[in-house]
C-alpha cells in the first residue's frame, strides 16, 4: 500500500481538503475568469454613450453567459435541502460485527456532511410542510466515502423501485396545473394511496406528527432498508441503521406548521444554521438493529420488505456512536446543491440485501447525478471528493479536473507495472458478500410482502390519544382537500383495514359513507418506541419569547434571563418597538423583535413578566394578546409573574391548567418548556 493510502483521516481532513477550493474575494481586485483585471463593471462597451453594445465586450459576454448558466436542475425529489458539516465517532470497536474501519477506533473522528431535506417541494418551498424528511449522511472515511441516505421515517411508500416514478408523479404538483406545491393534500397522491395499499404504513407515519418535525435537530433518521454488516471473518448479519437525536423527537402542530410556512419558510434551516453559528452542537447517536442470517425467517414480516420496520422491542437498537454537526457550510450551491449521495457508496464491512427498493436505488442515484451535475466527473467536485486517494483508469469526460499523467489508461498493462492494480481483500479491496442467489426470471413480488396493514395498525396502537387525534385531523385535512368523492371513499375504505375508528372518524370528517365494517387488522402489538411521548425531554436549546414593554419588573426579567441562560434556553425580548426597553427600576434591555417581526409560532414558549406599565401596554394590544392565545392553542408552555398574569388570563381565558405557570416559578416554567407540548390542555 502506498504511503498516502495509510494516511489517517481525521475530523479536519475534509475541511483541510476544502480549504484549497475556498475563495475569499475580500481585499481582491476584480478580474475576468481568465485573470485579466477588469477596469469597469457597470457599463457595457458601447459605440458612443447612446450607441449599441459591441460584440467585442468580452467582459460583458463572459459575465452574462456565466449568469445564464448559473442554475442546474433541482433534484427530482428532495429538492429543498440544507447541509451541515461535522464528524462521527464510534463508542467502541464494532469488530465483532463489521470490518468497516470507521467503526473500529473510538479515537477517530470521521468527517461527515449531512443534507436534510423535504421530499415533495421545489427548491424554494417552505420547510414546515407535511412530508417525510431526508437525512443523508456522507462519511468521508479512510476507505472511501460511505453514504447513509435515509429518511426520518423508517419505512417507505412502496416495495419495488419500479413504482418510484409513479409514486413521485402522484405526490408532486399535478402536471396539468402544477398545484399544489409541496403538499400531498391533492387528488393524485390519494388516488395513488388508495390504489397502492402497500403505502398504508408509511402514510400513517406522514399523517402523524413525524410529518412536521419541530427541528432537524429533533428528528430521527433511518436507513430504511435492510443492509448487511460483514466482519473480518466474512460472517454477515442483517442490519438496520438509526439516528437518534440527543434532544429527543419533537414536532410542530399542524396549524402552527402552516403559519410558519408563511412567517418563516426557512424555519428548519434557520434553526440549524443559527444553532451552529451560536456555537451550539447538533448531535445524534447512531444505532443498529442486527438480525443473524439464520434468523431471517423468524419474524411475521419479511425483513427485506421496506414497508416494514423491526420493532425495537423485538430487535433492540444497539447504540454504537455519535455524530456531532458543528460547522455550517460556506456556500450552499457548492455544498448542499452539488453534494451527490448514493446508497451504493459503501465501504468494506457494509453490504446490500435483496430489498427490491434498495436494489433499484443502487441504479437511480448515479443516473441522477449524471444529469444534475453534467457528466461523470462529479466525484471531483470538492464536496464529493473522498479524503482518501483515488486512482483508476476512468479518464476524460466533461469538467475533468485531474491531470492524469502517462500513456497508460487500461488494465492489465506492463508499461506501468500493471498499476493501478486491484487490491486484495486484505489490502482493503471491496469484496461483495457471497450470498447464494438462484431463481427464475419473474416480474413478481414475494407473497411474504403481501401484508400491508398489520404494521400500520401496530403504529396506530402505539400512539398516545393526542397523537391519534393528530393523525385523524391530518387525514381529514389532506383527504378533505381531495376533489374526487370517489377517491375520498376509496381512501377511507383502505384505512378501514388498519383501524375501524380511524376510518369512521375520517369518513365523518370528510362527509363520505361509513367504511365497511369488521375488517380492521387484528394486530395487537404495541411498540412504545414509536410514540414521541416516550422521547427525551429537555428545555435545552428551546426558544422563549419574553413579552415586555417599558416598565417591566426588572428583577423578575433579570432572573428569568439568567435561569434560561443556565439551562441553555434562548430568551428573546419581544416588545412593541425595537430598541431599548426600560424596566420600572431603570434596567435597559434590547428588544430582539416586535409583535410585527416576531410571531408566537416561531417560539417554543412564552413568558410574561410583571410590571404594571408593561402589562397594561401589552393588554391594550391585540397583537400581544394574540401572541399569547396562539401559544395557548398550540399547547405551549406559558409562564407569567406578577402583573404579567393578567395578560395570561386575558389571552388564555384561564390562569391555570397544564403547561401554565402563572406564579413566576422559573423552575416549573422550564419543566413545562421541556415537556414540549401540553396535550391535555382544553382547547
Ligand atoms: Fe431517494 N432519490 N429514491 N430515497 N433519496 C433521490 O437522488 C430514489 C428512497 C433519499 O440530500 C434522488 O440525488 C429511488 C428511499 C434522500 O441529496 C433520486 C427510490 C429513501 C435523497 C432518488 C428512492 C430515499 C434522495 C433525487 C426508490 C430513504 C436526497 C436526487 C427505489 C431511505 C439526498 C438525487 C440528498 C434523493 C431515487 C427511495 C432517501 C432520484 C429510485 C426509500 C434522503 O436519485
Residue pLDDT, tens place only, 95-111:
999 999 999 999 999 99
Q: What is the position in ligand 1's atom list of the atom closest to the CA of 367?
A: 44
**Residues in contact with 121: Cβ distance below 8 Å, sequence separation at least 6, in sequence order:** 79, 80, 129, 131, 181, 182
Q: What is the mean pLDDT of residues 422-449?
A: 96
Q: What is the position in ligand 1's atom list of the atom closest to the CA of 368?
A: 44
Measure 130 CA to ligand 1 centroid, in angstroms: 18
Q: What is the structure's pLDDT at 2?
A: 43
Chain centroid to Cα 542, Å, comes to: 18
Q: What is the structure's pLDDT at 571?
A: 98
Taking only the tens place, the pLDDT of each residue in 59-69 is 999 999 999 99
Q: At what angle do helices 485-495 and 465-480 cross, to 10 degrees?
A: 150
Please give the annotated binding residues for heme, written as ranges: 75, 115, 164, 361, 365, 372
Instruction: With cut-offs at 50, 70 and 90, classify the pLDDT of residue 323.
Output: very high
Q: Which residue has the cell 399547547?
A: 635
* pLDDT mean across residues, the chain: 97
Chain centroid to Cα 518, Å, comes to: 38
**Residues in contact with 524: Cβ distance below 8 Å, sequence separation at least 6, in sequence order:** 461
Pair 217, 274: CB distance under 8 Å: no
- DSSP-assigned letters across all residues of 564-618: HHHTT-EEEEEESSSEEEEBTT--EEEESEETTT--GGG-SEEEE---HHHHHHH
Three-state SS for 306?
Answer: coil
Taking only the tens place, the pLDDT of each residue in 98-147 is 999 999 999 999 999 999 999 999 999 999 999 999 999 999 999 999 99
Domains along the chain? Answer: 81-380 (2.40.180.10), 461-522 (1.20.1370.20), 537-674 (3.40.50.880)
Which of 115, 149, 210, 342 should be mutated for ligand 1, with most atoms under 8 A from CB? 149
Count Cα neighbours of 15 within 13 Å in the Cβ-side half-sphere: 15
Three-state SS for 284?
Answer: strand
Which of 154, 361, 368, 373 should be mutated for ligand 1, with most atoms under 8 A from CB? 361
Q: What is the position in ligand 1's atom list of the atom closest to the CA of 76?
A: 26
Q: How far apart are CA 612 and CA 549, in angstroms?
A: 10
Give the other-Cβ count within 10 Å of 425's Cβ.
12
Q: What is the structure's pLDDT at 682?
A: 86
Q: How far apart are CA 464 and CA 136, in angstroms?
A: 29
Strand partners, 114: 84, 137
Q: How far apart are CA 670 and CA 564, in angstroms?
A: 8
The pocket around ligand 1, CB under 6 angstroms, is made up of: 75-78, 81, 115, 117, 134, 136, 149-151, 156, 161, 164, 224, 339, 341, 357, 360-361, 364-365, 368
Peptide bond into 254 cis (omega under 30): no
What percent of the chain shows pLDDT beyond 70?
A: 99
Please give the annotated binding residues, written as ranges: 75, 115, 164, 361, 365, 372
Strand partners, 674: none
Which of 155, 172, 341 should be mutated for ligand 1, with most atoms under 8 A from CB? 341
Enzyme catalytic residues: 78, 151
Q: What is the structure's pLDDT at 3?
A: 45
Helices (H), 23-83: 58-68
Instruction: With cut-offs at 50, 70 and 90, classify the pLDDT of residue 7.
Output: low
Does the pLDDT value for residue 6 go beyond 70?
A: no
What percent of the chain shows pLDDT beyond 90?
A: 98
Which residue CA neighbors atom 11 of ligand 1 most closely? 115
User: Among 7-16, 191-200, 301-310, 606-615, which is the least confidently predicted range?
Assistant: 7-16
Q: What is the structure's pLDDT at 8?
A: 78
Closest CA to 346 of 219, 221, 241: 241
Q: What is the DSSP letter of 679?
A: T
Measure 122 CA to ligand 1 centroid, in angstroms: 15
- Give the angle 8-88-152 at the CA atoms, nearest 5°: 145
Q: How far apart are CA 673 and CA 185, in angstroms?
A: 32
Q: What is the structure's pLDDT at 204?
A: 99
Which residue CA neighbors atom 7 of ligand 1 most closely? 365
**Residues in contact with 28: Cβ distance below 8 Å, sequence separation at least 6, in sequence order:** none
Measure 648 CA to ligand 1 centroid, in angstroms: 46
Three-state SS for 474?
Answer: helix
Q: What is the structure's pLDDT at 1?
A: 38
The pair phi, psi for residue 350, each rounded to 5°, is -125, 130
Taking only the tens place, the pLDDT of each residue in 151-210 is 999 999 999 999 999 999 999 999 999 999 999 999 999 999 999 999 999 999 999 999
Measure 564 CA to ligand 1 centroid, in angstroms: 40
- Give the angle 192-194-199 at the CA atoms, nearest 5°: 70
Amino acid at each position: 500500500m502506498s504511503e498516502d493510502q495509510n494516511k489517517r483521516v481525521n475530523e479536519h481532513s475534509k475541511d483541510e481538503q476544502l480549504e484549497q477550493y475556498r475563495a475569499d474575494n475580500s481585499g481582491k481586485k476584480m478580474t475576468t475568469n481568465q485573470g485579466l483585471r477588469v477596469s469597469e463593471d457597470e457599463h457595457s462597451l458601447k459605440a458612443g454613450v447612446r450607441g449599441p453594445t459591441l460584440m467585442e465586450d468580452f467582459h460583458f459576454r463572459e459575465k452574462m453567459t456565466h449568469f445564464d448558466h448559473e442554475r442546474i436542475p433541482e433534484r427530482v425529489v428532495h429538492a429543498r435541502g440544507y447541509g451541515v458539516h461535522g464528524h462521527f465517532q464510534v463508542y467502541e470497536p464494532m469488530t465483532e460485527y463489521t470490518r468497516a474501519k470507521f467503526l473500529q477506533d473510538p479515537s477517530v473522528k470521521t468527517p461527515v456532511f449531512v443534507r436534510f431535506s423535504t421530499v415533495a417541494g421545489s427548491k424554494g418551498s417552505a420547510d414546515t410542510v407535511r412530508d417525510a424528511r431526508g437525512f443523508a449522511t456522507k462519511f468521508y472515511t479512510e476507505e472511501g466515502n460511505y453514504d447513509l441516505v435515509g429518511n426520518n421515517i423508517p419505512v417507505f411508500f412502496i416495495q419495488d423501485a419500479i413504482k418510484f416514478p409513479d409514486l413521485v408523479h402522484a405526490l408532486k404538483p399535478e402536471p396539468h396545473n402544477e398545484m399544489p406545491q409541496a403538499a400531498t393534500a391533492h387528488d393524485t397522491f390519494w388516488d395513488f394511496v388508495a390504489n397502492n395499499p402497500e403505502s398504508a404504513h408509511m402514510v400513517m407515519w406522514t399523517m402523524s406528527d413525524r410529518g412536521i418535525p419541530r427541528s432537524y435537530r429533533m428528528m430521527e433518521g433511518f436507513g430504511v432498508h435492510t443492509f448487511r454488516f460483514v466482519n473480518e471473518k466474512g460472517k454477515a448479519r442483517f442490519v438496520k441503521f438509526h439516528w437518534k437525536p440527543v434532544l429527543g423527537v419533537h414536532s410542530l402542530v399542524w396549524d402552527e406548521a402552516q403559519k410558519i410556512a408563511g412567517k418563516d419558510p426557512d424555519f428548519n434551516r434557520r434553526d440549524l444554521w443559527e444553532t451552529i453559528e451560536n456555537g451550539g452542537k447538533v448531535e445524534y447517536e447512531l444505532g443498529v438493529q442486527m438480525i443473524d442470517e439464520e434468523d431471517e425467517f423468524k419474524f411475521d414480516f419479511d425483513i427485506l420488505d421496506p414497508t416494514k420496520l423491526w420493532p425495537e422491542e423485538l430487535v433492540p437498537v444497539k447504540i454504537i456512536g455519535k455524530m456531532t454537526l458543528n460547522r455550517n457550510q460556506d456556500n450552499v450551491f457548492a455544498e448542499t446543491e452539488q453534494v451527490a449521495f448514493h446508497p451504493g457508496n459503501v465501504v468494506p464491512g457494509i453490504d446490500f440485501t435483496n430489498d427490491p427498493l434498495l436494489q433499484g436505488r443502487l441504479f437511480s442515484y448515479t443516473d441522477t447525478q449524471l444529469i444534475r451535475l453534467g457528466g461523470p466527473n462529479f466525484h471531483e467536485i470538492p464536496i464529493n471528493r473522498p479524503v482518501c486517494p483515488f486512482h483508476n483508469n476512468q479518464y476524460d469526460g466533461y469538467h475533468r479536473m485531474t491531470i492524469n499523467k502517462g500513456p497508460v489508461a487500461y488494465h492489465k498493462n506492463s508499461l506501468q507495472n500493471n498499476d493501478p492494480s486491484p487490491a486484495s481483500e486484505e489490502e482493503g479491496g471491496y469484496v461483495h458478500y457471497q450470498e447464494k442467489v438462484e431463481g427464475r426470471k419473474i416480474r413478481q413480488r414475494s407473497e411474504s410482502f403481501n401484508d400491508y396493514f398489520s404494521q400500520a395498525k401496530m403504529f396506530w396502537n402505539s400512539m398516545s390519544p393526542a397523537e391519534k387525534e393528530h393523525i385523524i385531523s391530518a387525514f381529514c385535512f389532506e383527504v378533505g382537500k381531495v376533489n374526487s368523492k370517489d377517491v375520498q371513499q376509496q381512501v377511507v375504505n383502505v384505512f378501514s383495514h388498519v383501524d375501524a375508528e380511524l376510518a369512521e372518524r375520517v369518513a365523518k370528517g370528510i362527509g363520505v359513507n361509513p367504511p365497511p365494517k369488521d375488517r380492521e387488522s387484528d394486530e395487537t402489538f404495541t411498540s412504545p418506541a414509536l410514540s414521541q411521548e416516550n422521547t427525551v425531554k429537555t428545555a435545552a436549546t428551546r426558544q422563549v419569547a419574553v413579552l415586555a414593554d417599558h416598565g417591566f419588573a426588572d428583577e423578575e426579567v433579570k432572573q428569568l434571563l439568567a435561569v434560561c441562560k443556565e439551562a441553555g434556553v434562548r430568551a428573546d425580548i419581544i416588545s412593541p418597538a425595537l430598541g431599548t426597553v426600560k424596566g420600572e427600576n431603570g434596567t435597559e434591555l434590547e428588544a430582539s423583535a416586535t409583535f410585527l417581526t416576531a410571531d408566537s409560532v416561531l417560539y417554543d414558549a412564552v413568558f410574561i413578566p410583571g410590571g404594571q406599565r408593561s402589562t397594561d401596554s401589552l393588554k391594550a394590544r391585540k397583537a400581544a394578546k394574540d401572541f399569547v392565545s396562539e401559544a395557548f392553542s398550540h399547547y405551549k408552555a406559558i409562564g407569567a409573574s406578577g402583573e404579567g398574569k393578567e395578560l395570561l388570563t386575558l389571552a388564555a381565558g384561564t390562569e391555570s391548567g397544564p403547561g401554565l405557570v402563572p406564579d413566576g416559578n422559573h423552575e416549573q416554567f422550564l419543566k413545562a418548556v421541556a415537556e414540549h407540548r401540553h396535550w391535555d390542555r382544553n382547547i
